[in-house]
Amino acid sequence: MPVSKIAITIDNELVKEIDLLVKSNLFPNRSKAIQEAVKEKLERLKRTRLAKECAKLDPEFEENMAEEGFSLEIEEWPRY
């Protein structure tokens, strides 16, 4: 995957923590540590957004939509 080089400003305390992670070989370098952190955060935000959207759904309406026409189709299904 192609990568882009960017400049960021980051709190000194965070840099110290990242450096400790690199020093303890959890990450090969600062860039990889920050890249992984950003990736995890973005994935978490996507899951949160999906959960919020799902919470807006009306379970009864969704069930009725899923079962609409089901009673007509079941007669066409083969018996096992």
Question: 71 falls in which pLDDT band (50, 70, 90)?
Answer: low
The more confidently predicted of residues 66 and 8 is 8
What tokens were used for 62?
């969704």
Backbone φ and ψ for 45, nearest 5 degrees, come out as -65, -40
What tokens were used for 60?
């009864």
* Domains of the chain by residue range: 12-74
Cα–Cα distance, 7 to 44 (Å, whole number): 24
pLDDT score recorded for residue 72? 65
What tokens were used for 80?
């096992």
Cα–Cα distance, 77 to 75 (Å, whole number): 6
